[in-house]
Structures are given as C-alpha cells and as structure tokens.
C-alpha cells in the first residue's frame, strides 16, 4: 500500500536460529522501507508466535489488533503489528542505536539493497 511497507514473512532455518540472522532480515527490511520512503511498516504474526513477536517488538512494532482466523491451516488468529512513523527522528534514533548494538554483538552489517 502507498506509504506502507508490509512484511509478508521471514524465516530462518531451524539449525541457524538464535544467531542474529532473523534480526538482520528485519534490519534489512527496515532499511529497504526507509530507502523507498515508506512511512510505516506492518505485518501479521501468529498469536502463539512469541519469538517472532519479541523480535518485531524489539524493532518498534506494536500490537495494534487481531485478525480472527487469519491462518488457513489451523484458523489461528493473527496479531497485527505496525511501527510508528519510520521516518521520524525518534524512530531513526532508536533504529540506529539497535544497529550499533547489533554490530557490537555480531560484527559489521553488510547488505546491498535491491
């Protein structure tokens, strides 16, 4: 949608989880959304998926509602999560601080935006 970047899904193979790869995917998605002048970002996550929700909350996604029966496999509800405006100074400062912390923990971030 105009001005809104929507993440349809991210996943890391099971053996590689807990090593910062999911976080790097979110950092890359936010960088891409900023480069394309998106105003906000949104996504859905299973209500039971607390790991994914923790990752998204770390990057400023807030729980703004529920989509009842969103997932077709088991009719599980989805949590709708959106960011505050990502072009605001407040969000950019928070994002830059998170990227600095990521670099200190995992090393330099190298990515090429498509």
Ligand X SMILES: CC(C)(COP(=O)(O)OP(=O)(O)OC[C@H]1O[C@@H](n2cnc3c(N)ncnc32)[C@H](O)[C@@H]1OP(=O)(O)O)[C@@H](O)C(=O)NCCC(=O)NCCS
Binding site for ligand X (CB under 6 A): 9-12, 17-23, 45, 49, 51-52, 54-55, 58
**Residues 101, 83: Cα–Cα separation, whole Å:** 20
Q: Distances from the Cα of 78 to the Cαs of 4, 6, 36, 68, 110, in angstroms?
A: 19, 14, 27, 7, 32
Residue 91 a catalytic site member: no
Instruction: Name the minimum Å distance from CB 78 to ligand X.
Output: 9
Nearer to ligand X, 35 or 51 (CB): 51
Instruction: Name the minimum Å distance from CB 39 to ligand X.
Output: 21
Residue with CB nearest ligand X? 22
Q: Which of 4, 31, 44, 106 is catalytic?
A: 44
Q: Distances from the Cα of 45 to the Cαs of 26, 31, 83, 106, in angstroms?
A: 14, 21, 14, 26
Q: Which of 23, 56, 59, 91 is catalytic?
A: 56
Residue reference for tokens 């193979």: 13
Instruction: Name the minimum Å distance from CB 60 to ligand X.
Output: 12
When computed from its CA atoms, the radius of gyration of the chain, rounded to whole angstroms, is: 14
Residue 44 a catalytic site member: yes
Which residues are known to be catalytic? 44, 56
């Amino acid at each position: 949608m105009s001005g809104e970047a929507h993440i349809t899904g991210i996943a890391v193979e099971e053996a590689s989880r807990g090593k910062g790869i999911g976080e790097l995917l979110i950092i890359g998605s936010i960088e891409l959304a900023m480069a394309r002048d998106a105003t906000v970002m949104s996504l859905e996550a299973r209500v039971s998926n607390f790991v994914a929700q923790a990752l998204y909350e770390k990057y400023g996604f807030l729980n703004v509602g529920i989509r009842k029966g969103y997932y077709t496999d088991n009719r599980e509800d989805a949590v709708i999560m959106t960011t505050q405006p990502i072009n605001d100074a407040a969000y950019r400062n928070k994002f830059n601080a998170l990227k600095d912390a990521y670099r200190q923990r995992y090393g330099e971030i190298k990515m090429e935006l498509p």
